[in-house]
C-alpha cells in the first residue's frame, strides 16, 4: 500500500470514525510504512478498551515504535509467545531488565522459535551509573560481558586528587619533580619560548611501600593533569599482537586528553630486559613501548610518562636513553623527619592520647617504609579497639599501644637495600645507582 492510498483511507476513517475494521487497516498500513507518529496520534482519539485480542498487540507495537513504552505496556497483556516477547521488548525500553528477562523466558517456553540470543544478552546486561564530578552528567555504562564493578570504577571514576601536601617527606624529590615536571605544565609559554618540550619520562625506583605510586598521583594533582594509572592487565594479552595494540591505545587516550600523566607501576613487567627474549612476545612489547615513548608517529607533547619499579636492574637499558626515561629518581625509605611527618598524618582524626611521643617513634622506626608505618598504626589501633571492648568505654590510642605494635612490626626495606647495595657497588659503571650509595652512606646506621 502506497502513501496516497493510506491518506485516502485516513480521509475515509475521518468520515466514519466508528468503523473499527477500517481503523485497524489504517493502523497496520501506517505501521508497515513506518509512519509511527501519524498512527500514534490517531490512536489518541480512541479509548484503549476499543481494542480487543490480537489488535492490542498491534497497538502495543505502534506505541513502542513511537517511544511510548509505558502505554505499550498496557496493551501488551496477552499470554501468547509473541505478546510475551513484545512485553520483554517493552520492559527493555523501560530499563526494567529483570522483568523483561522473565517475560522473555516465558515467551521462549511457549514458542522456542522465538529464541533470540542477542536479545537475551541485552536483557542480561549489567547497567551501572557513575558520577563524573560536580556539574557534569552521570555516565551510564551497559556491559554485556563479565566486566566487574571494580574495573569499571577504576577506568571511569576519577581518583581522589592528591597534592604534595598529602605526601610525607621526600622533600628533595618533590623539589626535583617541581623543577623538571610541574613548572613546564604551569609555565608552558616560558618553556615554549626556550623550545623546551613539556612532558617526557621519569622513572621512580626504590623499596616497596615508600611512596612511588603516591608521589606519581600527587605529581598529576600538582600539574592539574588527567591521571591514567595503567595496570598490567590493561596491556598484557594472551593473543599475539594484542598487547602492543592495547599499549598504543593507552598512549592515544592520553594524547587526546592533554595534559595527561601516564603512570606505569611495576615497570619491569612491561619493560623487562630483552637479552633473553629477543624472539618472544615480551620483546615485541618492549619495542612497541619504546616506539610510543619516542613519539615518532604521534607527538607526546603534553604527555608525562611516569614509571615505578622495585627492580630497576631488570628494566631494559634502552628505556634510559634521553627522550624516554631520561630522569631516574631514587625514592628512599623516609628519614627520621619524614617518618615523624607520616606518623602525624596517619594519626589525624583518630582518638589519640596527648602522651604519644612522635619523635621517639620516628627514632625507633629506622628503615621503615611508609607502608610499614601504616601497618604500625593499624596494628596499634587494633590494640586500642581490643582494650575498648574489654573496658566497655572508648580507650584512645596511646604510646603503649604503639610501642606494643612496634615490637610486632619489622621493616620490609632491608632486603631490598641489601640487593640494591650489591648492584650499586658492583654494577654501577654508568653511575645510575649513585643515589643508592649516597643514601646508604648517610643512613646506613639508621
Residue 378: pLDDT over 90: yes
Q: What is the pLDDT of residues 239-264, one digit of tens each?
A: 888 888 888 888 888 888 877 888 88
- Cell numbers representing residue 271 in the block: 619493560
Residue 271: pLDDT over 90: no
Q: Does some domain include residue 361?
A: yes
Angstrom CA distances, 167 to 214, 218, 366, stand at 7, 8, 18
Regarding whether 316 and 170 lie in a shared domain, the answer is yes
Regarding whether 92 and 20 lie in a shared domain, the answer is yes
Residue 403: pLDDT over 60: yes
Regarding whether 294 and 173 lie in a shared domain, the answer is yes
Regarding whether 190 and 138 lie in a shared domain, the answer is no
Q: Comparing 145 with 367, which gets the higher pLDDT?
A: 367
pLDDT for the residue 278: 54
Q: Does some domain include residue 328?
A: no
Residue 155: pLDDT over 80: no
Regarding whether 37 and 77 lie in a shared domain, the answer is yes
* Listed residue (201, 168, 203, 194) closest to 365, CA to CA: 168
* Listed residue (385, 386, 378, 368) closest to 402, CA to CA: 378
- Cell numbers representing residue 241 in the block: 599482537
Residue 110: pLDDT over 90: no
Q: List Cβ neighbours of 142 (8 Å cut-off, separation of 6 or more).
A: 125, 126, 127
Helix H segments across 203-269?
212-223, 232-235, 242-255
User: Distance between CA 103 and CA 90 in Å, rounded?
Assistant: 10
Q: Does some domain include residue 270?
A: yes
Q: Does some domain include residue 330?
A: no
Residue 387: pLDDT over 60: yes
Mean pLDDT of 183-205: 80
The mean predicted confidence, pLDDT, of the chain is: 81
Kindly report the CA angle at 357 between 354 and 361, in degrees rounded to 5? 140
* Listed residue (334, 297, 337, 293) closest to 315, CA to CA: 293
Of the three residues 323, 356, 381, the one that is the final residue of a domain is 323
Residue 300: how many CB atoms within 10 A of its CB? 24
The total of structural domains in the chain comes to 5
- Cell numbers representing residue 195 in the block: 623550545
- Cell numbers representing residue 350 in the block: 583518630
Regarding whether 151 and 114 lie in a shared domain, the answer is no
- Looking at residue 138, the DSSP 8-state letter turns out to be P
User: Distance between CA 37 and CA 203 in Å, rounded?
Assistant: 61
Band the pLDDT of 279: cuts 50, 70, 90: low
Q: Which CATH number is 226's domain given?
A: 3.40.50.300
Quote the longest CA-to-CA distance of the chain.
Answer: 104
pLDDT for the residue 381: 93
Q: Does some domain include residue 329?
A: no
Residue 195: how many CB atoms within 10 A of its CB? 6
Q: Comparing 58 with 46, which gets the higher pLDDT?
A: 58
How many residues are there in the chain?
Answer: 446
Of the three residues 272, 301, 323, the one that is the final residue of a domain is 323
Of the three residues 285, 301, 323, the one that is the final residue of a domain is 323
Regarding whether 301 and 225 lie in a shared domain, the answer is yes
Between 177-191, 300-314, 415-429, the lowest mean confidence (pLDDT) is in: 177-191
Do the strands 327-330 and 200-205 form a parallel or antiparallel pair, or are they unpaired? parallel
Regarding whether 112 and 55 lie in a shared domain, the answer is yes
Residue 198: pLDDT over 80: no
Q: Which CATH number is 350's domain given?
A: 1.10.8.60
Regarding whether 275 and 188 lie in a shared domain, the answer is yes
Tell me what percent of the residues of the chain surpass a pLDDT of 90: 6
- Cell numbers representing residue 318 in the block: 634502552
Residue 209: pLDDT over 60: yes
Q: Are 98 and 82 in contact (CB under 8 A)?
A: no
Q: What is the pLDDT of residues 301-330, one digit of tens each?
A: 778 888 899 988 888 888 887 777 878 888
Q: Does some domain include residue 189?
A: yes
Q: What is the pLDDT of residues 1-38, one digit of tens each?
A: 666 777 777 778 777 877 777 878 887 887 887 878 88
Angstrom CA distances, 359 to 165, 199, 336, 355, 371, stand at 20, 39, 8, 12, 18
Regarding whether 300 and 181 lie in a shared domain, the answer is yes
User: Distance between CA 81 and CA 87 in Å, rounded?
Assistant: 10
Residue 377: pLDDT over 90: yes
Q: Is 135 left (phi over 0), alpha (psi -120 to 50) or beta?
A: left
Regarding whether 236 and 111 lie in a shared domain, the answer is no
Q: Which CATH number is 20's domain given?
A: 1.25.40.10
Band the pLDDT of 159: cuts 50, 70, 90: low
Regarding whether 130 and 119 lie in a shared domain, the answer is no
Mean pLDDT of 265-290: 75
- Cell numbers representing residue 198 in the block: 613539556
Roughly what angle, to the nearest 10 degrees, separates helices 117-124 and 97-110?
A: 150
pLDDT for the residue 78: 78
Q: Does some domain include residue 397?
A: yes
Kindly report the CA angle at 436 between 326 and 323, in degrees rounded to 5? 0
Range of the domain at 371: 336-406
C-alpha dihedral (5, 8, 14, 18), degrees to nearest 10: -50
Q: Does some domain include residue 218?
A: yes
Mean pLDDT of 388-407: 90
Q: Which helix (H) or strand (E) holds 227?
A: strand 226-230
Amino acid at each position: 500500500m502506497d502513501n496516497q492510498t493510506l491518506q485516502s483511507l485516513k480521509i475515509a476513517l475521518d468520515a466514519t470514525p466508528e468503523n473499527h475494521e477500517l481503523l485497524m487497516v489504517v493502523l497496520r498500513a501506517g505501521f508497515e510504512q513506518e509512519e509511527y507518529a501519524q498512527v500514534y496520534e490517531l490512536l489518541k482519539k480512541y479509548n484503549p478498551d476499543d481494542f480487543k485480542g490480537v489488535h492490542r498487540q498491534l497497538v502495543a507495537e505502534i506505541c513502542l515504535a513511537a517511544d511510548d513504552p509505558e502505554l505499550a505496556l498496557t496493551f501488551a497483556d496477552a499470554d501468547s509467545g509473541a505478546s510475551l516477547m513484545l512485553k520483554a521488548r517493552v520492559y527493555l525500553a523501560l530499563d526494567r531488565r529483570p522483568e523483561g528477562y522473565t517475560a522473555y523466558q516465558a515467551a521462549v517456553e511457549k514458542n522456542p522459535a522465538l529464541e533470540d540470543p542477542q536479545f537475551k544478552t541485552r536483557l542480561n546486561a549489567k547497567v551501572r551509573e557513575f558520577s563524573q564530578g560536580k556539574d557534569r552528567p552521570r555516565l551510564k555504562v551497559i556491559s554485556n560481558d563479565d566486566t566487574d564493578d571494580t574495573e569499571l570504577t577504576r577506568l571511569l571514576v576519577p581518583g581522589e586528587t592528591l597534592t604534595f601536601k598529602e605526601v610525607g617527606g621526600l622533600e628533595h624529590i618533590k623539589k626535583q619533580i617541581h623543577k623538571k615536571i610541574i613548572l613546564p605544565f604551569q609555565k608552558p609559554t616560558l618553556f615554549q619560548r626556550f623550545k623546551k618540550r613539556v612532558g617526557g619520562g621519569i622513572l621512580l625506583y626504590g623499596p616497596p611501600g615508600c611512596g612511588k605510586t603516591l608521589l606519581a598521583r600527587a605529581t598529576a594533582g600538582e600539574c592539574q593533569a588527567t591521571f591514567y594509572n595503567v595496570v598490567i592487565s590493561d596491556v598484557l594479552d594472551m593473543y599475539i599482537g594484542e598487547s602492543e595494540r592495547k599499549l598504543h591505545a593507552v598512549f592515544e587516550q592520553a594524547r587526546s586528553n592533554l595534559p595527561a600523566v601516564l603512570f606505569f607501576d611495576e615497570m619491569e613487567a612491561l619493560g623487562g630486559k630483552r637479552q633473553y627474549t629477543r624472539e618472544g612476545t615480551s620483546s615485541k612489547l618492549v619495542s612497541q613501548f619504546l616506539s610510543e615513548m619516542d613519539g615518532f608517529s604521534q607527538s607526546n607533547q603534553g604527555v608525562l610518562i611516569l614509571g615505578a619499579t622495585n627492580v630497576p636492574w631488570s628494566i631494559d637499558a634502552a628505556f634510559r636513553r634521553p627522550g624516554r626515561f631520561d630522569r631516574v629518581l631514587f625514592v628512599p625509605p623516609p628519614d627520621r623527619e619524614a617518618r615523624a611527618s607520616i606518623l602525624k598524618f596517619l594519626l589525624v582524626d583518630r582518638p589519640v592520647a596527648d602522651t604519644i611521643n612522635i619523635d621517639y617513634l620516628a627514632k625507633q622506626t629506622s628503615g621503615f617504609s611508609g607502608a610499614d608505618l601504616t601497618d604500625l598504626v593499624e596494628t596499634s589501633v587494633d590494640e586500642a579497639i581490643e582494650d575498648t571492648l574489654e573496658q566497655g568505654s572508648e580507650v584512645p590510642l596511646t604510646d603503649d599501644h604503639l610501642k606494643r605494635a612496634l615490637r610486632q612490626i619489622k621493616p620490609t626495606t632491608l632486603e631490598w637495600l641489601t640487593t640494591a647495595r650489591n648492584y650499586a657497588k658492583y654494577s654501577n659503571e654508568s653511575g645510575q645507582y649513585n643515589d643508592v650509595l649516597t643514601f646508604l652512606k648517610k643512613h646506613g646506621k639508621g
